[in-house]
Amino acid sequence: MDSSTGSRGPAGFSTQANALLRKNLCFQKRNLKTNVCITLFPILLCVLLVLLQGAIDREIDKPKYRCGCACVDAAADGSCRRTECGVQHSTLDQVASCPIPTPPRWPALVQLPTPEARAISTASQPFDGLPGQTCRDAGSCPAAFLVTGANRSLAESLSGQLFPALSSPLNFTDYLGALSKIVPGSDTTPESRQLLEPAFTPGNTLYIVQPQCRSNLSQTVSVNAGIIPLRLDVDCIQGLTLWRESESIVNDELFRGYRQQRESGREKANEFAAGYNFLNTNKDSLDISIWFNSTYSNNTAFTPIALLRVPRLVNMASNAYIKFLRGSGVEMLLEYVKDMPKVGTKLKFDLSSLLGALFFTWIVELLFPVVLTYLVYEKQQKLKIMMKMHGLKDGPYWMITYTYFFALSAVYMILFIIFGSVIGLRFFTANNYSIQIVFYFIYINLQIALAFFAASFFSSVKIATGLSLKFVMSKVRKEWL
């Protein structure tokens, strides 16, 4: 009986071992297919990006997106002897690619809050000297400027001259000269370039900031900004200066009136136009600090930083101070601001850079489910225990496993970088390769370590595969959004 039992024991063990071996071979085949599919995926994605980039390049290279041209010297037979290209011959879609050797000059403007956001006195923010809700309903609220300083009488005297009053109707024949002697403003969002002032585009209003508004200031005028004909809607807005006892009060009201309101989301913004601290200004020196709303720069790291309308704020204080010293007949004028000359450019759209975060997440993290599934399968089928029974210790096992996955990941990333560079994706060619290699080296090591750690929480291959894929896709969705 003992001998028969002993003979059946090894045979049963051999049968189980063969079954496990067959099952492991099936898993290895499936794993090989998975590795092949994952290896092909980045190649297919790169090819797809190249095809899409080529289609986009062909579309944006069409004449409707290139600088507009027109015949300026036609022969008697109808042929064109000279063609001229430039902004004057371009549509709005074409003008961005045109060379501008002599950029137009624009008046320096003050950044004003929109009518619905101008500072008023409310129950939650009872600021002194401000009008109530009725002016906001009528769209007639003033632009409020806060003023403080060491010498109140001097500060109030200077602030009273921040907005020169018009003594005669505006003459827009020389609109740069006319607007340099007063304070023009706009509630439009500034751009990253000064090639076109948004306040001068159709549908927007150019405001004239005055101590008191006259009804005849509201008008529509036609002007020429160099070769660009413009039609302006001009309106008046009252400039209201309000004294505050200290710098801390000004800071508090500016913060509560704008940022705190925007962040709370409960009420509309209660925005001041700017603030002046005349510090220790006296007859011998102008010592001044200016508050302005820097959020108009749109510094979000995703878009170009916009130019802030600060020069006019500085000029307002300088002009008021020189008048205080020399009399009203002396002025310090800021006639215009302008951009730097611009060469002709070609419209470009780099799809691989736009999809950078999504691109990277999809490609690199697809190795995570492979590593995790492999580890959980060995755990589920107790292959590690069998290897221990054959004398394999933990140290060599983990070292071999780590080396295998590191080699797989390294070959995967090297092929990915080579293939992406060969087909010309700027995602690779525009960045230094040494930096990329260091970054990928660190990342694949962290990814393998994360898979080792996560494997201890799973005992089912199906659950591990499903949750790891969900983890990768959820990160993709987060990066995309």
What does the pLDDT read at residue 154? 94
The kind and range of the H/E element at 34 are helix 2-60
What does the pLDDT read at residue 461? 81
State pTM to two decimals.
Answer: 0.66
Residue extents of the structural domains in the chain = 15-61+350-479, 101-338
What are the residues facing 234 on neighbouring strands?
206, 219
The kind and range of the H/E element at 260 are helix 260-264
What does the pLDDT read at residue 290? 96
H-assigned helices in 328-393: 351-354, 356-365, 367-380, 383-389
Residue 466 contacts residue 454 (beta carbons within 8 Å)? no
Residue 227 contacts residue 88 (beta carbons within 8 Å)? yes
Instruction: Please provide residue 206's backbone torsions phi and psi, each rounded to the nearest 5 degrees.
Output: -95, 115
Instruction: Please provide residue 186's backbone torsions phi and psi, each rounded to the nearest 5 degrees.
Output: -155, 150
What does the pLDDT read at residue 334? 93
What are the residues facing 80 on neighbouring strands?
74
Residue 185 contacts residue 237 (beta carbons within 8 Å)? yes
The kind and range of the H/E element at 17 are helix 2-60
Q: What is the pLDDT along the chain (481 residues), one digit of tens a residue?
A: 444 444 444 444 455 545 544 545 454 555 555 555 566 667 777 778 778 888 888 888 888 888 888 888 888 887 888 888 888 888 877 888 888 888 888 999 999 999 988 999 888 778 888 898 888 888 889 999 999 999 999 999 999 999 998 877 777 788 888 899 999 999 999 988 888 888 888 888 999 999 998 777 788 888 776 666 778 888 999 999 999 999 999 999 998 877 666 655 656 788 999 999 999 999 999 999 999 999 898 887 777 889 999 999 999 999 999 999 998 889 999 999 999 998 888 877 777 667 666 666 677 788 888 888 888 887 777 766 666 666 667 777 788 889 988 998 888 888 888 877 887 777 788 888 898 889 889 988 998 999 989 888 888 888 888 888 788 777 655 555 5
